[in-house]
């Protein structure tokens, strides 16, 4: 397979951010007619490396060869001229414009939308994309937006495509469709790089795997000749086990009862429609659904952060007495003696304060304690030391602003703080989003330990493989409605995928 | 190859944290550079010897004991306003209404001095002045905060507009209280009885002001960095969503902080009317409400550093005034010098945060391929 022509050769690429070495003399070859999976833990420098290829950063040292010729990529425009297109994790589209308008945006020359639309249609036909060029972006689903991003780079003549975690927001069915398209582009002779954390995707899609660890290039293997276990070991640097535990729930009893919960957002759009369920102590209740199906509103309603239209949320004490949580703010919920912990989706925008250090972030939950007008700085410091030790958080010091930590470590800090308060209900939203496999397993392990301690865990997840392995029961949301609640031990991801897109799944939908 | 193919002439990368002596070294060099640059401009434009100009600037602040006291007094008032706006800034509430809040305090003080002088003893008048000025400033700062908290209005515009209202109010009362009639000015209030004049400590007219502001600086430092309120302010400033998530009542924090901010501006008003000027004009604040924004930013909202930045600004201002009288230069020229120095100081922060990499000469891949 090595006889395939190299589209890109990166030689001895080094990039520093301040004192942080993001890439350390990395060598990487991307070949035409091949899908390369770029693997590595969080903060291992994958995205940085690819950003240098797409002109966002400029390497401090090293050189890049495109088709065997030295090239200098100073800006995204240079990258485009060289045929390099990157599809970022966060889409860069203008909501109020149509697909076609977004695609031609910033192109030099005279604007001819009709001709552009024809060309877009031709690209879509060639690869089997389903895009209506006249549709506005705000009317589109996440997967449609992503398709527009891909068409955008193809339209500009890219034949080297880089996709940064493209499947994070897709359902299994949408993922299959994307992969089919990527395969046909590969067969068309394009060079494709995909960054992902999901091993099953690497195995099913890629031809070759390159691994980075702590900014350095570890090596590469042919996908056919390796296993998920081997790749993980390469990434982490030592052997890890890849099984998620699912202990049997011990003495589960109802802890949280949600009845007829209905929520409208600020624009009056129905986000949750008559949602009812019970979360038991000592059990993990998984919540599945396409992103934006009401997961965020559900958790925020329970945590007292979302204004609701009707329904009830009862917290059931050990002795059977009920407390109504609806209409209370987080402070009064805390004052009622309800130990509720919430790991929100937006870690640095909601769960933590990015510019504050670890100790000050630990203080967020506890700073009110005591009658003094001054804050107690010593105990949060100890809590921070505790969390760093127990969860092996990789940080220069307790005094480091959390913004400087990598995604996995930020999440460990947040989860660590939320569980030190000994909660009886733990709400988590996308607890492992963007985390590498090693950190993910640490988080699963922490959640399981909470479950064994009798905590009622509500786990909103996007990786169905994980939900099926981790959760005791899984509630599926579809467009704000409960599509069904299934036993995690008896379901599979096909069934969940169908329930996510149609109420009740295939049989009764 | 027709296409230019070489690495960019410069590219900018972020530095790690520099050790303190390096970053302060850079700042010191910047000031020296700014001085040299100002010197060149001075020679080119005026033909004066820059050393003479610098000596005059220095003399303007330190020439005589009286000048030193005036310097200290000016620093005290400016620092007081800067301390006042800082909690709001830490909360990312852009209060540029320090001017109006200060004027509200001045107006309240003057009102007490004029209306209560015949019915109360001196100490009671002073007490009323302090209380009413704090309240007036708090109200002036609290109104925009209330609107921000309830209806999310833009605080920058709102506080700015409140400045104009305050100026007009002061103008109105000056006409009511003018002495002598028709002069359009109040003159020195209670010149003979000295009622409502803040007491002197020993024979030092300005010492009380300086002490009050020094104490306030320390208190503010402690409040912002060690109190629960200060912590709440930082959290709200960084992210309102995080604040709500941990149960901080954001509305309440905004209003409370602005009441404090306004009240301290009001205090600056008392120090000005009761402590030094003993009169009131529409321009009594001298733009300090705006200069305070710069003092606070330059010090990165740290009260202790603000001593230094307020000194710097007052020093430059005093020096500028001195040049214009000594050399018969236009006041604008000294403003130009102040501008240049500030530009250098603010610009140097860029070089502390970022590093400029120049193209390596003869580096592999760096040579143009022709």
| Band of residue B83 on the pLDDT scale cut at 50, 70, 90 | very high
pLDDT at res. B205: 85
User: What integer best gives the mean pLDDT of chain B?
Assistant: 88
- Measured CA to CA, the distance from residue B296 to residue B305 in angstroms comes to 9
pLDDT in tens, B223-243: 999 999 999 999 999 999 999
Q: How confident is the model at residue B366 (pLDDT cuts 50, 70, 90)?
A: very low
Q: Return d(Cα B127, Cα A496) in angstroms, integer.
A: 73
- Mean pLDDT for B98-112 is 96
pLDDT band at A505 (very low <50, low <70, confident <90, very high): low
Which 3 state secondary structure label does DSSP give A263?
strand
Q: Which of A66-80, A471-485, B53-67, B355-369 has the lowest mean pLDDT?
A: B355-369
Nearest CA distance, B349 vs chain A (angstrom):
15
Which of the pair, A25 or A337, is modelled with greater confidence?
A25
Are B7 and A72 in contact (CB < 8 Å)? yes
The tokens describing A391, both together, are: 């969860």
- Distances B298 to A52, B17, B348, B350 between C-alpha atoms, Å: 34, 18, 11, 13
Residues of B with Cβ-Cβ distance to A342 under 8 angstroms: 245
A346 to chain B, any CB pair closer than 8 A? The answer is yes
**How much is the pLDDT for B362?**
45
Cα end-to-end span (Å), chain B: 5
Least confident of A50-59, B104-113, B115-124, B322-331: B322-331
Among the residue ranges A31-35, A109-113, B102-106, the one predicted with the least confidence is A109-113
CB A296 within 8 A of CB A482: no
CB contact residues (below 8 A), chain B span 13-32, against chain A? 13-17
CA–CA min distance A382, chain B (Å): 17
pLDDT at A408: 78
From chain A, the residues in CB contact with B5 under 8 A are 70-72
User: Angle CA(B23)–CA(B25)–CA(B26) in degrees, nearest 5?
Assistant: 65
Tell me what the mean pLDDT of segment B245-262 comes to.
Answer: 95
Domain A6-236 has CATH 3.40.50.300: yes
> What percent of chain A is predicted at pLDDT more than 90?
36
**How many Å apart are CA A266 and CA B187, to the nearest integer?**
56
The pLDDT value given to residue B3: 45
Taking the Cβ of residue B150 and every Cβ of chain A, the question of whether any pair is shorter than 8 Å is answered with no
Which residues 362-381 of A are in CB contact (within 8 Å) with B?
363-365, 367-368, 373-375, 377
What domains appear along chain B, each with residue ranges and CATH number? 14-48+329-370 (no CATH), 66-318 (1.10.3470)
**Statement: A253-339+423-433+453-509 belongs to CATH 3.40.50.300:** yes
**pLDDT, tens digit (0-9, with 9 covering 90-100), for A403-449:** 888 777 888 999 999 988 889 999 999 888 777 777 888 889 999 99
Of B262 and A177, the structure prediction assigns the larger pLDDT to B262
CA-to-CA dists, residue B276 to A56, B74, B99, B190, angstroms: 57, 10, 17, 13
CB-based contact A107:A77 (threshold 8 Å): no
Measured between alpha carbons, how far is B261 from B284 in angstroms, rounded to an integer? 19
What's the whole-number mean pLDDT along residues A112-133?
Answer: 87
Length of chain A (residues):
509
Tell me the three-class secondary structure of A57-88, residue by residue: CCCCEEEEEECCEEECCCCHHHHHHCCEEEEC
Q: Answer for the pair B71, B61: CB distance below 8 angstroms, yes or no.
A: yes
- A352 interaction partners in chain B (CB closer than 8 Å): 242
Give the burial class of A458: count Cβ atoms within 10 A of its Cβ; 0-12 exposed, 13-18 middle, 19 or more buried. buried
Phi/psi for B19 (5° steps) reads: -65, 150
The highest-confidence range among A456-460, B64-68, B178-182, by mean pLDDT, is A456-460
pLDDT at residue B318 in the model: 84
Cβ–Cβ below 8 Å for A375 and B13: no
Per residue in B15-31, pLDDT (tens digit) is 767 777 888 888 888 88
Hunting for tokens 């760093």 — which residue is that? Answer: A388
Residue B368 clears pLDDT 50, i.e. is over it? no
Confirm or reject contact between B92 and chain A (CB < 8 A).
Answer: no
What distances in angstroms separate CA B316 from CA B35, B75, B144, one per listed residue?
A: 12, 11, 33
Q: Does B226 touch chain A (CB under 8 A)?
A: yes
Say which residue the tokens 């303007």 belong to. B60
CA distance B53 to B39: 8
The per-type count for chain B, helices as H runs and strands as E runs, is 13, 2
Q: Is B198 exposed, middle or buried (0-12, 13-18, 19+ CB in 10 A)?
A: buried
Question: Is residue A67 less than 8 Å (CB to CB) from chain B?
Answer: no
Which residues lie across from B12 on neighbouring strands?
A: B356
Q: Using CA coordinates, name the residue in chain A closest to B17.
A: A18
CA neighbor of A463 nearest in space, from A165, A169, A91: A169
Beta bridge partners, B204, equal B201
Average pLDDT, integer, range A329-344: 89
Do residues B139 and B110 lie in contact, with contact meaning Cβ atoms separated by under 8 Å?
Answer: no
Tell me, yes or no, if B79 comes closer than 8 A to chain A by beta carbon. no
Residues above pLDDT 70, as percent of chain A: 97
Q: Report yes or no: A339 at the B interface, CB cutoff 8 Å.
A: no
Cβ atoms of A478 and A298 closer than 8 Å: no
Residue of B nearest to A328 (CA): B247
Query: By mean pLDDT, which of A50-64, A102-116, A248-262, A494-508 is the weakest?
Result: A494-508
Neighbour count for residue A322 (Cβ, 10 Å): 12
Q: Which residues pair with A283 in a beta bridge?
A: A456
DSSP H or E stretch at residue A411: helix A407-420
Q: Is A307 on the interface with B (CB under 8 A)?
A: no
8 Å CB contact of A70 and B227 = no
Q: What confidence score (pLDDT) does residue A255 get?
A: 93
Inter-chain touch A72–B6, beta carbons under 8 Å: yes
- pLDDT score at B7: 62
Question: Using CA atoms, how far apart are residues A335 and A341, in angstroms rounded to an integer?
Answer: 14
Chain A residue numbers touching B13 (CB-CB < 8 A): 16-17, 60
Of the candidates A72, A330, A346, which has its C-beta nearest B5's C-beta?
A: A72
Residue in this structure with the two tokens 């209380």, named with its chain if needed: B131
Q: Do B249 and A344 touch (CB under 8 A)?
A: no
Q: A356–B228: do the CB atoms touch at under 8 Å? A: no
Domain ranges of chain A: 6-236, 253-339+423-433+453-509, 347-421
- With 0-12 / 13-18 / 19 or more C-beta atoms within 10 angstroms meaning exposed / middle / buried, residue A123 is middle
Residues B335-345 have pLDDT tens digits of 788 888 888 88
Decide: helix, strand or coil at residue B193. coil
Asked if B246 and A350 come within 8 Å (Cβ–Cβ), the reply is no
Candidates A378, A343, A341; CA nearest to A363 is A378
User: Counting beta carbons within 10 angstroms of the beta carbon of residue A356, is it exposed (0 to 12), middle (13 to 18) or buried (19 or more)?
Assistant: buried
Q: What's B267-301 look like in SS3? A: HHHHHHHHHHHCCCCCCCCCCHHHHHHHHHHHCCC
Give the list of residues 6+ apart from residue A35 with CB closer than 8 angstroms, or none: A182, A183, A186, A192, A193, A194, A205, A206, A207, A208
Cα–Cα nearest to A238, from A490, A437, A63: A437
Compute CA distances B121 → A166, B41, B113, B124, B325, whole Å: 78, 56, 11, 5, 43
DSSP A357: B
- Is the confidence at residue A211, as pLDDT, over 50? yes
Question: Rounded mean pLDDT of B302-324?
Answer: 88
Preceding amide of A333 cis, omega within 30: no
Q: CA A336, CA A330: separation in Å to the nearest integer?
A: 10
Structure tokens at A316: 């059931």
Element (H, E) at A191: strand A191-195
Residue B59 pLDDT? 86
The radius of gyration computed from the CA coordinates of chain A, to the nearest angstrom, equals 24
Share of chain B above pLDDT 90, in %: 56
Mean predicted confidence (pLDDT) in B58-75? 90
Q: What are phi and psi of A15, to 5 degrees?
A: -140, 130
Alpha carbon of A447 to those of A423, A437, A442, B84, B108: distances in Å?
A: 12, 15, 9, 46, 60
Q: In which element (H, E) is residue A477 found?
A: strand A473-478
Residue A458 tokens read as 């509500």
Q: Model-level pTM greater than 0.80?
A: no
Q: Quick check: B242 and A364 CB within 8 A?
A: yes
SS3 state of residue A23: strand
Q: Which of B329, B321, B320, B294 is nearest to B308 (CA)?
A: B294
**Chain B residues in contact with A58 (beta carbon < 8 A):** 7-8, 11
What is the rounded CA–CA span in Å between residue B8 and residue B359?
A: 7
- When CB atoms are compared, the residue of A17, A364, A377 closest to B235 is A364
Tell me how far apart the alpha carbons of residues B7 and B3 are, in angstroms, rounded to a whole number. Answer: 12
Output A319 or A459, whichever has higher pLDDT: A459
Averaged pLDDT for residues A379-387:
92
**DSSP of A421-460, one letter per residue?**
T--SEEEEESTTTT--HHHHHHHHHHHHHHHHTT-EEEEE
Please answer yes or no on whether A329 and B247 come within 8 Å at the CB atom: yes
Q: How far apart are CA B172 and CA B175, in angstroms?
A: 5
Note whether A59 contacts B: Cβ–Cβ < 8 A.
no
Assign A291 a pLDDT band (cuts: 50, 70, 90).
Answer: confident
Mean of the per-residue pLDDT values of chain A: 87
Q: A17 in contact with B at a CB cutoff of 8 Å?
A: yes
| Interatomic CA distance for residues A211 and B14, integer angstroms | 26
pLDDT score recorded for residue B367: 37
**Which among A150, A43, A42 is positioned nearest to A92, based on CA atoms?**
A150
Give which of A48, A336, A353, A403 to mutate to test B binding, by max B Cβ within 10 Å. A353
Sign of the Cα pseudo-torsion (B312, B318, B321, B323, in order): negative
Q: Give the mean pLDDT of A46-72.
A: 90
Query: For position B158, what pLDDT does the model report?
Result: 95
Mutation target for A interface from B12, B14, B245: give the one with most A CBs within 10 A.
Answer: B245
Residues of B in Cβ contact (< 8 Å) with A16 = 13
pLDDT at B244: 92
Q: Do domains A6-236 and A253-339+423-433+453-509 have the same CATH topology?
A: yes
pLDDT at A194 (0 to 100): 94
């Amino acid at each position: 397979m090595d006889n395939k022509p190299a589209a890109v050769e990166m030689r001895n690429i080094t990039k520093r951010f301040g004192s942080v070495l993001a890439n350390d003399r990395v060598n990487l070859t991307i070949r035409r007619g091949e899908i390369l999976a770029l693997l590595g833990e969080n903060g291992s420098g994958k995205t940085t490396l690819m950003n240098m290829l797409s002109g966002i950063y400029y390497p401090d040292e090293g050189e890049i060869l495109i088709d065997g010729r030295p090239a200098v990529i100073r800006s995204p425009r240079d990258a485009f001229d060289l045929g390099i297109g990157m599809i970022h994790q966060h889409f860069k589209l203008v909501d109020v414009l149509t697909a076609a308008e977004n695609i031609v945006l910033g192109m030099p020359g005279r604007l001819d939308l009709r001709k552009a639309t024809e060309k877009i249609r031709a690209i879509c036909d060639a690869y089997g994309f389903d895009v209506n060029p006249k549709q506005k972006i705000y009317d589109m689903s996440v997967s449609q937006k992503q398709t527009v991003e891909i068409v955008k780079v193809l339209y500009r003549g890219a034949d080297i495509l880089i996709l940064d975690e493209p499947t994070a927001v897709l359902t299994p069915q949408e993922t299959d469709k994307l992969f089919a398209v990527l395969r046909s582009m590969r067969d068309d002779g394009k060079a494709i790089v995909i960054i992902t954390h999901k091993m099953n995707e690497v195995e099913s899609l890629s031809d070759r795997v390159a691994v980075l660890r702590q900014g350095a290039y570890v090596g590469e293997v042919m996908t056919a000749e390796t296993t998920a276990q081997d790749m993980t070991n390469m990434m982490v640097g030592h052997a890890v086990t890849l099984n998620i535990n699912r202990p049997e729930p011990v003495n589960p009893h109802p802890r949280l009862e949600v009845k007829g919960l209905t929520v409208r957002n600020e624009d009056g759009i129905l986000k949750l429609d008559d949602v009812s369920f019970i979360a038991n102590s000592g059990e993990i209740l998984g919540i599945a659904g396409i992103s934006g199906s009401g997961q965020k509103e559900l958790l925020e309603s329970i945590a007292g952060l979302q204004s609701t239209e009707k329904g009830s949320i009862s917290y059931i004490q050990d002795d059977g007495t009920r407390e109504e949580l609806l209409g209370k703010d987080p402070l009064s919920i805390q004052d009622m003696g309800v130990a509720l912990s919430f790991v929100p989706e937006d870690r640095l925008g909601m769960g933590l304060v990015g510019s504050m250090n670890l100790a000050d972030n630990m203080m967020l939950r506890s700073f009110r304690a005591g009658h003094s007008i001054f804050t107690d700085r010593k105990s949060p410091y100890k809590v921070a030391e505790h969390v760093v030790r127990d969860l092996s958080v990789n940080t220069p010091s307790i005094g480091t602003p959390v913004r400087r930590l990598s995604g996995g470590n930020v999440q460990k800090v947040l989860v660590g703080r939320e569980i030190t308060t000994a909660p009886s209900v733990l709400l988590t939203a996308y607890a492992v989003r963007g985390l590498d496999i090693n950190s993910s397993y640490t988080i699963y392990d922490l959640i399981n330990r909470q479950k064994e301690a009798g905590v009622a865990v509500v786990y909103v997840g996007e990786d169905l493989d994980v939900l099926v392995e981790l959760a005791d029961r899984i509630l599926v949301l579809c467009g704000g409605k409960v599509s069904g609640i299934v036993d995690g031990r008896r379901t599979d991801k096909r069934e969940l995928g169908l329930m996510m897109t149609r109420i009740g799944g295939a049989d009764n939908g | 190859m027709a296409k230019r193919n070489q690495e960019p002439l410069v590219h900018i990368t972020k530095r790690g944290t520099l050790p303190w002596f390096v970053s302060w070294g850079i700042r010191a060099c910047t000031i020296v550079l700014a001085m040299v640059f100002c010197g060149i401009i001075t020679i080119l434009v005026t033909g004066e010897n820059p050393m003479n100009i610098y000596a005059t600037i220095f003399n303007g602040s330190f020439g005589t004991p009286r000048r030193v006291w005036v310097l200290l007094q000016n620093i005290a008032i400016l620092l007081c306003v800067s301390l006042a706006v800082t909690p709001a800034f830490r909360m990312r509430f852009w209060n540029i209404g320090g001017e109006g809040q200060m004027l509200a305090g001045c107006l309240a003080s003057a009102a007490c001095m004029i209306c209560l002088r015949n019915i109360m003893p001196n100490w009671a008048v002073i007490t009323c002045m302090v209380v009413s000025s704090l309240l007036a400033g708090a109200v002036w700062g609290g109104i925009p905060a209330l609107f921000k908290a309830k209806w999310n209005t833009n605080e920058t515009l709102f506080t700015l507009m409140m400045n104009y209202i305050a100026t007009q109010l002061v103008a109105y009362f000056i006409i009511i209280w003018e002495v002598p009639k028709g002069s359009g000015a109040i003159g020195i209030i209670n010149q003979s009885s000295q009622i409502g004049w803040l007491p002197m400590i020993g024979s030092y007219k300005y010492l009380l002001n300086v002490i009050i502001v020094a104490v306030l600086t320390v208190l503010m430092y402690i409040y912002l960095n060690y109190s629960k309120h200060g912590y709440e302010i930082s959290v709200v400033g960084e992210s309102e969503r995080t604040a709500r998530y941990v149960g901080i009542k954001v509305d309440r924090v905004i209003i409370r902080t602005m009441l404090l901010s306004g009240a301290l501006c009001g205090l600056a008003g008392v120090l000005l009317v009761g402590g030094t000027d003993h009169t009131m004009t529409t321009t009594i604040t001298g733009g300090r409400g705006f200069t305070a924004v710069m003092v606070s930013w330059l010090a990165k909202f740290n009260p202790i550093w603000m001593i230094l930045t307020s000194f710097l600004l007052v020093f430059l201002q005093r020096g500028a005034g001195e040049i214009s009288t000594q050399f018969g230069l236009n006041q604008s020229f000294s403003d130009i010098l102040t501008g240049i120095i500030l530009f250098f100081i603010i610009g140097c922060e860029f070089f502390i945060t970022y590093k400029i990499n120049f193209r390596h000469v003869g580096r592999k891949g760096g040579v143009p391929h022709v």
